[in-house]
Homo-oligomer: A and B are copies of this chain.
Amino acid sequence: MIEPSQRVQETKESYIRNILKVIQQPGMLSLAGGLPDASRFPKAILAQAAQHLADDPSIYQYGATEGYAPLRKWLIDSLALADDVMVTSGSQQALDLIARSYLNPGDQVLCEAPSYLGALQIFDLAQAKTLTVKSDSTGPDLDHLESMLSQNQIKLFYAVPDFQNPSSSCWTLEKRQGVALLCERFDVAFIEDAPYRELRYSGETLPSVSSLCKGQAFYMGSFSKIATPSMRVGFVMASQKLLEPLKKVKQASDLHSALPMQQMLLATITHPEFPAHLEQLKQHYCARRDVLVDALNRHLSDWIDFEVPEGGMFVWAKLKQHQAHDLAAKALDYQVAVVPGDEFWPSDASIDYQAIRLNFTALDDAQLEQAVERLAEVMSNS
């Protein structure tokens, strides 16, 4: 039997995928996933958008690799970050296309520590060398970033400046400006992954890093967290020159993304009731966050440290005495699932501290309270 490729063998496993069967058992309360609340999908708007799917017959023929022209125009006009945009099958695909277009095996890519697991998998598949920059809740350590950039041959710097998965950190304006300057100085392309940017519950929206280093940046956007994830419509915005190689890779990999989905997504996000939907969604998630934070303060303050996230979908809890992997494994016996923080470091990086990631968008208020009570039992018995 033929052997799988090296790139697959070297790619980090998904912790959640590996425990999926356990998580799906009845009675399990999962804080491990990153699912939006399906009860809050904009059903009426989606149903209306679906009604109009047959109106434009041209969306049933093969389409342009770059995407559905009206959606591309809307994105460029709305964001004004660059002169070109490509529609992708979720922003996940955008990152995969960037990696395949620019990374040779052994090339160096930089990311935050911790970082998004799906990005680490993509860099593994590209057989890149993934380095990390020290980061805290305000963003990357700029001195460390400068020394990393000067001492290495880094090609791409990937980050999630707004409410990162897993840490929920949101970069300060100073950090954004500093990173933009350093990327320009060292001619490193900045990849800004922004799936949670619209999910801010308090504080003020800050400029995207891409807007501070135009021409040097890829901005990846998603509608998975504010509309619905299953349509798999995301995008990457950048200069024409930076996007050019991506077209060749996307054409070979899937020709183009589903056109009816692109039309339906555009109809959804431009629907007159979409802004009200988004406002309600944010209030809903903000209330969920408050329920989780309150429960953590009451039950787990002896064992964890955390900051209250201003947006996003996660609380990142640093462990004072427990080992994350042992804790997560034991938690399953108590019918509660969490993701151990170690999973969010590249395979060969040294883990800076022990933490667990807790999602607050998928469970309801009572379940969140009960999940934290179970975690308190696990921690007190470990």
Binding site for B on A (CB under 8 A): 1-8, 11, 13-14, 17, 35-36, 38, 41, 43, 46-47, 50-51, 53-54, 57-63, 65, 88-90, 92-93, 96, 100-105, 107, 118, 121-122, 124-125, 155-156, 187-189, 224, 228-233, 241-242, 245, 248-249, 251-261, 264
Contact = CB atoms under 8 A, between A and B. Distances in A.
A122 B124 CA distance: 19
Contacts of A92: 252-255
Contacts of A242: 1
A251 B51 contact: no
A93 B93 CA distance: 12
B38 A2 contact: no
A245 B249 CA distance: 21
Q: Which 6 A-B pairs have the closest CB atoms?
A: A47-B54, A230-B259, A121-B252, A50-B53, A4-B245, A60-B228
Name, among A4, A41, A251, the residue most crowded by chain B CB atoms within 10 Å (CB to CB). Answer: A4
A361 to B, nearest CB: 12
Given A14-B251, A35-B62, A59-B230, 6 more contacts: A2-B102, A2-B156, A38-B61, A125-B249, A231-B260, A261-B261
A62 B2 contact: no
Given A1-B187, A241-B1, A264-B260, A89 B50 contact: no
A86 to B, nearest CB: 14
B125 A100 contact: yes
A187 B2 contact: yes
Nearest to A62: B229
Contacts of A51: 50-51
Contacts of A229: 60-62, 255
Given A8-B101, A102-B4, A232-B255, A57 B35 contact: no
A215 B53 CA distance: 40
6 contacts: A17-B65, A36-B61, A51-B51, A53-B53, A89-B89, A93-B254
A95 to B, nearest CB: 9
B50 A8 contact: no
B57 A38 contact: yes
A73 to B, nearest CB: 18
A124 B65 CA distance: 19
A374 B56 CA distance: 33
Name, among A104, A249, A258, the residue most crowded by chain B CB atoms within 10 Å (CB to CB). Answer: A258
Nearest to A244: B4
A17 B253 contact: no
